Amino acid sequence: MPRTARLDITGVLQHVIVRGVERRDIYLDDDDRQSFLDRFSNLLIQTGTVCLAWSLMTNHAHFLLRSTQGRLGHFMRRLLTGHAVTFNLRHHRSGHLFQNRYKSIICEENPYLLELVRYIHLNPLRVGIVKDMAELNGYPWSGHAVLMGRRELSGQNVEEVLRYFGKRTKPAREKYQTFVADGILLGRRDELVGGGLRRVLKLAGNEVITAYDDRILGSADFVEQLKQEKEVSEKLEVRIPLDKLVEQVAEIAGVQPEELGQRRRGVTISEAKSIISYLALRKIGYSGETVAKALGITRSGVSRGATRGAAFVAENPKWGCVEELITKSTTSP
């Protein structure tokens, strides 16, 4: 399936995940890790990139970054290319070390900054590299030890994170450590790392409006703010006009497109509207309000219709071609 274009905006928080090609290790020993960290630290300082959290695992790594002077993509290319060259020379190998594309998720700061700091820094404990918080506090390959004052990494912004927990360093560190420890019981936080998850954008009464773009972690208002960036707006732009979708569904259902915009009843009309609600809301990303206006129904009707439409698509092969077309169109680079 074609890949979505990566979003990259100066000044916006990004959760970055890099993985080894074919899930292979990207660090074989502590010398590899230290070499990577030295390069990472130097680049943070050179480019003015803000680092709030990081964690080096075995075959992948996590970073919470905010670029200030340019696109994060330039920073990541220098970091990953430099490490790959050094790694290959040191271990007498050739070929790719990292997957072709690192993953980056644009994140809304207010609700997610601290959650991501905690999630990233708990990774070594979560997978069993360290056994408890006491060991994590001094673990050298995570930004948590830097925040706790046990390690140093030039370029990591300790002050910004600790400021959320108090003005004085010692009490702030204690509260930060408690906050991280409280996250252990939360287990896996799949909603923080993307993967096609449905993210709740806002609540309208009892209706949940969701977005399905795994490049963004944030509210509906945050998404709208992103659209003010021309380059990002183009990448977020819906690729199939809603009226075209209505025409395609109407043709398969054997009804006239204008009938689907009227308050008409009937099994065929109802099924077609449900299919449109499902595809427009969940697959393409139209708002519930926009779909409701196009179909002459309420937003809650769109939400209920989307659930029915998902079942119709799963049960009836005739709708599969429309879903496939929508998926391809909305994931083109």
Q: Which residues contact 293 (CB under 8 A, 6 or more apart)?
A: none
Instruction: Provide the pLDDT for residue 140.
Output: 96
Element (H, E) at 158: helix 158-162
CA distance 9 to 37: 24
User: Where does 239-333 sit in CATH, by number?
Assistant: 1.10.1750.10
Residue with tokens 């290959």: 88
3-state secondary structure (DSSP) of residue 26: coil
Under the banding of pLDDT at 50, 70 and 90, the label for residue 198 is: very low
* CATH 1.10.1750.10 boundaries in the chain: 239-333
pTM above 0.85, yes or no: no
Nearest to 302 by CA among 282, 323, 326: 282
Boundaries of CATH 3.30.70.1290 in the chain? 13-191
What is the average pLDDT across 273-302? 84
The pLDDT of residue 83: 96
Residue 234 has pLDDT above 60, yes or no: no
The rounded percent of the chain whose pLDDT value lies above 70 is: 81
pLDDT at 214: 65
Which pLDDT tens digit goes with each residue over 30-73?
999 999 999 999 999 999 999 999 999 999 999 999 988 878 88
Q: What's the first-to-final CA gap in the chain, in angstroms?
A: 10
Task: Tally the residues of the chain.
Answer: 333
Distances (CA, A) of 6 to 31, 91, 273: 31, 31, 32
**Mean pLDDT on 119-124:** 94
Would you state the pLDDT for residue 189? 74
Reduced to 3 states (helix: H, G, I; strand: E, B; else coil), residue 278 is helix
Q: Give me the pLDDT at residue 201, please.
A: 41
Structural tokens at position 171: 């009490």
* Beta-sheet pairing, 207-211 with 199-204: antiparallel
The answer to whether the CB of 298 falls within 8 A of the CB of 206 is no
- Copy the structure tokens of residue 248: 């395609």
13-191 is classed CATH 2.60.120.1600: no
